[in-house]
C-alpha cells in the first residue's frame, strides 16, 4: 500500500480486495491485514480488518516482528518475501527473474532476494506462484520438486471496474486507433528497446507508438531506460482510469517482454477490447492462449510485421477484440482469491 503500483503491488492490492469480497460472500471471517505502525497508504486500502503491530518497518519488521504478530494463524505473504521463522506461512513468489534475468535487477536487490528465496525453500513456508511456467522455473532454480509449489492465477477485471479518463488522450493529442500502445517498466527484460523498428514504421504511417512505464532504480537495473525506441510518446506512469482509456483507444497493444512470471498487461488490454501482439514465450502462451498474435521478441522485424498485420486487417482486429475479452473474462481476482483460500485451508496453523 505504501509503494508505487507495479506488478507485485498490483497483485497484492487486488488479491486483498478479492479476499475481502469472497470472505463476505461465503460468510466467513476475512483475513486480517498486518502492517507496520508507520505505514501510510499511497494506494486505496482493501476493505480488510487492519492491525498495526511492531515498532520497526521494512525487512526488520517483516523478519523480526511480523512472525510474532501472526502467531497462531496462517500468514499470507503476497509479495515475494516472507519471514524465515515462525508458524504456518504462505509466500507467493511471482517468478524466478532474479535467477534467470540477473541483469534486470540492482545487485543489492538481487543478492537479498536470492539469499531469502534459497533459505525459504528449507523453511516451513508453503510456496505459491502464479503460473505453471513460474512453478517450473522456481523448481529449477530452487532445486525443489514442482509439487512443493502450488499455483494460483491472477485477474484482469480490476481494469473494467474503473471509468476511463480520456484526458490523457487530449493531453498527448492521441487519436482513437491512431496509436499502438506498450506498457511496462523500463527494466531490460521488458525489451522495449526492440520496438525501435516498429516506431519508425508506424511514424511513416502517421501512427504513434505510445509507451507507459517508469523504472524503480532500487529494484531494477536502470540501463533499461537507455536506447529506448524513437519516435515515441512516453507518458510515464498513469492512473488506472487513464490506462483504461489508452487500452480502449489503441489500435493494438504490443508486449515484447523477454521474461514474465504471469504477464498481466496483455490480459488488461484484452479486457478492454484491444488486440494484442505478445512475445512468443511460454508463459504468455499459457496466459493469452489463442487470443493473441505472437512474435519472436528478439526479432524487431517480426514484431513489426505482426503489429502491421492487425493495423491492415480490421476484420482480424475485430475478431481479436472478441477473443481477447473472452480470454480475459476467465481470469478474475475472485477466482484467484478462492484458489489462495483453498491453499490456505490446506496449510496447518
Instruction: Note the pLDDT of residue 217.
Output: 45
Provide the residue-wise pLDDT of the chain in tens; the chain has 349 residues: 778 778 899 999 999 999 999 999 999 999 999 999 866 665 677 889 999 999 998 899 999 999 999 999 999 999 999 999 999 999 999 999 999 999 888 899 999 999 999 999 998 899 999 999 999 999 999 999 999 999 999 999 999 999 999 999 999 999 999 999 999 888 889 999 999 999 999 999 999 999 998 744 444 445 544 568 999 999 999 999 999 999 999 999 999 999 999 999 999 999 999 999 999 999 999 999 999 999 999 999 999 999 999 999 999 999 999 999 999 999 999 999 999 999 998 875 5
Rounded Cα–Cα distance for residues 76 and 30 (Å): 12
The reply to whether 185 and 312 lie within a common domain is: yes
The CATH number of whichever domain residue 125 belongs to comes to 3.40.50.2000
The reply to whether 220 falls in a domain is yes
User: Is 90 found in the same domain as 46?
Assistant: yes
Do 340 and 306 share a structural domain? Answer: no
Looking up cell 536470492 gives 114
179: three-class secondary structure by DSSP: strand
Rounded distance between C-alpha atoms, residue 202 and residue 161, angstroms = 31
Same domain for 231 and 141?
no
Number of domains in the chain: 2
Q: Please tell me whether residues 102 and 34 are part of one structural domain.
A: yes
- pLDDT (0 to 100) of residue 318: 97
In a domain, 63, yes or no: yes
- Please give the Cα distance from 85 to 87 (Å, whole number): 7
**Residue 82: all three cell numbers together:** 516472507
The answer as to whether 1 is a domain residue is no
Do 201 and 108 share a structural domain?
no
Could you tell me the CA-to-CA distances from 151 to 19, 121, 196, 335, 340 in Å, in that order?
17, 16, 36, 12, 9
Q: Considering only CA atoms, which of 28, 32, 18 is closest in space to residue 336?
A: 18
For residue 2, tell me if it sits in a domain.
no
| Same domain, residue pair 262 and 149 | no
Rounded-to-integer distance, Cα 11 and Cα 131, Å: 13
Strand pairing class (276-279; 293-295): parallel
**Strand, coil or helix: 137:** helix
In a shared domain, residues 13 and 89: yes
In this prediction, residue 221 carries a pLDDT of 46
pTM: 0.92
Instruction: Check whether residue 115 and residue 171 sit in a common domain.
Output: no
Query: Do residue 176 and residue 139 come from a single domain?
Result: no
The answer as to whether 272 is a domain residue is yes
- 47 falls within a domain: yes
Please state at what angle helix 314-329 crosses helix 264-271, rounded to 10 degrees: 110
Do residues 117 and 184 share a domain?
no
* pLDDT for the residue 219: 44
Range of the domain at 182: 163-329
Amino acid at each position: 500500500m505504501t509503494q508505487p503500483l507495479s506488478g507485485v503491488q498490483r497483485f497484492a492490492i487486488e488479491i486483498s480486495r478479492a479476499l475481502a469480497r469472497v470472505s463476505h460472500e461465503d460468510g466467513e471471517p476475512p483475513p486480517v491485514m498486518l502492517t507496520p505502525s508507520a505505514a501510510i497508504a499511497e494506494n486505496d486500502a482493501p476493505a480488510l480488518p487492519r492491525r498495526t503491530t511492531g515498532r520497526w518497518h521494512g525487512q526488520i519488521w517483516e523478519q523480526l516482528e511480523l512472525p510474532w504478530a501472526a502467531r497462531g494463524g496462517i500468514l499470507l505473504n503476497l509479495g515475494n518475501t516472507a519471514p524465515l521463522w515462525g508458524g504456518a506461512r504462505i509466500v507467493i513468489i511471482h517468478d524466478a527473474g532474479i535467477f534467470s534475468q540477473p541483469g534486470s535487477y540492482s545487485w543489492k536487490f538481487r543478492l537479498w532476494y536470492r539469499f531469502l528465496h534459497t533459505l525459504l525453500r528449507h523453511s516451513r513456508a508453503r510456496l505459491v506462484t502464479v503460473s505453471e511456467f513460474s512453478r517450473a522455473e522456481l523448481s529449477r532454480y530452487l532445486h525443489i520438486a514442482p509439487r512443493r509449489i502450488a499455483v494460483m492465477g491472477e485477474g484482469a477485471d480490476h481494469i473494467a471496474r474503473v471509468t476511463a479518463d480520456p484526458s490523457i488522450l487530449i493531453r498527448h493529442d492521441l487519436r482513437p486507433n491512431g496509436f499502438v500502445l506498450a506498457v511496462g517498466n523500463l527494466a531490460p527484460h521488458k525489451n522495449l528497446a526492440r520496438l525501435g523498428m516498429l516506431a519508425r514504421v508506424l511514424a511513416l504511417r502517421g501512427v504513434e507508438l505510445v509507451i507507459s512505464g517508469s523504472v524503480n532504480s532500487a529494484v531494477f537495473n536502470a540501463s533499461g531506460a537507455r536506447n529506448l525506441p524513437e519516435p515515441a510518446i512516453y507518458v510515464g506512469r498513469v492512473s488506472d482510469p487513464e490506462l483504461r482509456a489508452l487500452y480502449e483507444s489503441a489500435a493494438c497493444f504490443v508486449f515484447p517482454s523477454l521474461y514474465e512470471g504471469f504477464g498481466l498487461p496483455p490480459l488488461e488490454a484484452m479486457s478492454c477490447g484491444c488486440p494484442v501482439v505478445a512475445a512468443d514465450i511460454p508463459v504468455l502462451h499459457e496466459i493469452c492462449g489463442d487470443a493473441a498474435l505472437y512474435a519472436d521478441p528478439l526479432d524487431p522485424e517480426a514484431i513489426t510485421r505482426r503489429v502491421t498485420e492487425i493495423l491492415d486487417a480490421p476484420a482480424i482486429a475485430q475478431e481479436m477484440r472478441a477473443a481477447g475479452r473472452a480470454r480475459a473474462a476467465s481470469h478474475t481476482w475472485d477466482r484467484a482469491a478462492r484458489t489462495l483460500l483453498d491453499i490456505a485451508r490446506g496449510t496447518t496453523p
